[in-house]
Amino acid sequence: METKKEIKILIWIAVIFGAAFFLPIESVRFNTAIAATFDLVKWYAREHVILCLLPAFFIAGVISVFVSQGSVLRYFGANAKKWLAYTVAAVSGTILAVCSCTILPLFSSIHKRGAGLGPAIAFLYSGPAINILAIILTARILGFEMGVARIIGAVSFSVIIGLIMAFIYRKEEKIKKEEQMNIQLPPEKRPMWQTSFHFFTLVLILVFANWGSPASDDTSSTWYYIWSYKWYITGFFSLLLGYSLIRILKIKWQWVLLAAIATGASALLSSNFIENAKLVPLIPMMVGIASLAIITLKDKTDDENKEWTVATWGFAKQILPLLAIGVVTAGFLLGSTHDGQTIAGVIPNEWIQWLVGGNSIFSNFFASVVGAFMYFATLTEVPIVQGLIASGMGKGPALALLLAGPSLSLPNMLVIKGVLGTQKTVVYVTLVVVMATISGLIYGSIF
């Protein structure tokens, strides 16, 4: 055994030395891919983690701690009525402006609480895919028929893929169903409306904090109007969160007030002393999150308040390292595209554009695979597809990319593997890619 261990160490040393020895630092494409990797990591950290992922972790914590197991089992459990479970799961994305990574802690929460595999998978797919903002943006920029095709495809995908997964693993689901029939559920600690109020307040903070800028200069649109007041709206829901902390979670009002003052003061200071407008909201969001964590951890009135933040930290520990690995890998291989700029990865963008022209089976399949592995932040898939169409991408592959891309990514797959295991993850990804390919072929033949 000792010899085998030493041989493994020797092999690893040889591999690392070989990689260093043949490192192609003289290659322009390699250096560009390195730059793309760091660019994507920096952009992801600035634009996505603080405003998007951290609030999502707290929302996942709410599901894990405050949403009773009985509530989850009633709507998503193995014994829940199928029409109800899949309907709730399939339309959930309309209220969540989330991407393939932000949905992960929410999915992990309901799965942990006993949700059936089918409804949980439907929720996992629908969260990023049926984002109402993305559907509207798709219709406005890529055409009304593309917007309609996307929403029909996304809703049907979530249900069909969930049903297929439940059928494939029906033996496991049968065992889960029998186990859940024997669960003795404790009485609800608080009325469901109170938990719902607390949950949706956090969801609305997440939605409006990440409300994207309008795609055009039309200052008369509702989209622009909401975007111009997004931080006032976010602030309003933050006040409602303070009310919820005091009245529902019973945290001392003095602590909540101090947290609100600290957050408000940080917002004023950041707006006066930080020149980069994009970084200004990050400071009060960080202060607000830190304050929320402190007052819940220090609260002595209810152990669940502390458990909320502990559960949030648990999701962060589980998910963030895998996301980091995935983002680095995706940036190196596929490059970085955001804010109107594109830095190529090791795989040339020209290859992708050449491979997804027309409406062949291969072009749709390739678009689905590329979309599945690429990372798309919320709403960014639309301008990317717009650019690819302008470069010759067919309409069928474009839809295939829209149906596979937002709900999957390499970081997303790594985390799903940690929750469901390798086999279920491979089956899920394969179903998404196959169905996106078929949908692209049908759409491309019609339009």
pLDDT, one tens digit per residue, over 191-226 is 888 888 998 899 889 888 888 777 666 677 777 888
Mean pLDDT over 129-154 rounds to 77
pLDDT(154) > 70: yes
**398-409 burial: b if 16+ Cβ within 10 Å, else e:** bbbbbbbbbbbb
Q: Can you give the pLDDT at residue 188?
A: 67
315: pLDDT confidence band, cut at 50, 70 and 90? confident
Length of the chain measured in residues: 447
Instruction: Report how far residue 368's alpha carbon sits from residue 397's, in angstroms, rounded to the nearest whole number.
Output: 7
Among 93-102, 234-243, 328-337, the least confident range: 93-102
Q: Can you give the pLDDT at residue 142?
A: 77
CA 217 to chain centre: 28
Here the tokens at position 290 are 């830190």
CA 418 to chain centre: 16
Computed over every residue of the chain, the mean pLDDT equals 82
**pLDDT, tens only, 74-106:** 666 666 778 877 887 777 766 555 666 767 777
Instruction: Report how far residue 417's alpha carbon sits from residue 308's, in angstroms, rounded to the nearest whole number.
Output: 24
Instruction: Report how far residue 160's alpha carbon sits from residue 154's, in angstroms, rounded to the nearest whole number.
Output: 10
Greater confidence (98 vs 60) lies with 60
What is the pTM assigned to this prediction? 0.69
Instruction: Report how far residue 440's alpha carbon sits from residue 377's, in angstroms, rounded to the nearest whole number.
Output: 22
Here the tokens at position 186 are 């404790």
pLDDT(400) > 70: yes
Q: Can you give the pLDDT at residue 241?
A: 95
- % of the chain exceeding 70 in pLDDT: 84
Give the up-direction half-sphere exposure of residue 164: CA atoms within 13 A in the CB hemisphere: 15
Instruction: Report how far residue 285's alpha carbon sits from residue 196's, in angstroms, rounded to the nearest whole number.
Output: 22
Q: Can you give the pLDDT at residue 368?
A: 92
Give domain limits for the chain. Answer: 27-179+190-251+299-446
The secondary element (H helix, E strand) that includes residue 204 is helix 192-209
pLDDT(269) > 70: yes
182: pLDDT confidence band, cut at 50, 70 and 90? low
**pLDDT, tens only, 33-59:** 899 889 888 887 887 788 877 887 888
Mean pLDDT over 341-367 rounds to 81
Q: Can you give the pLDDT at residue 77?
A: 65
151 residue type, one letter: I
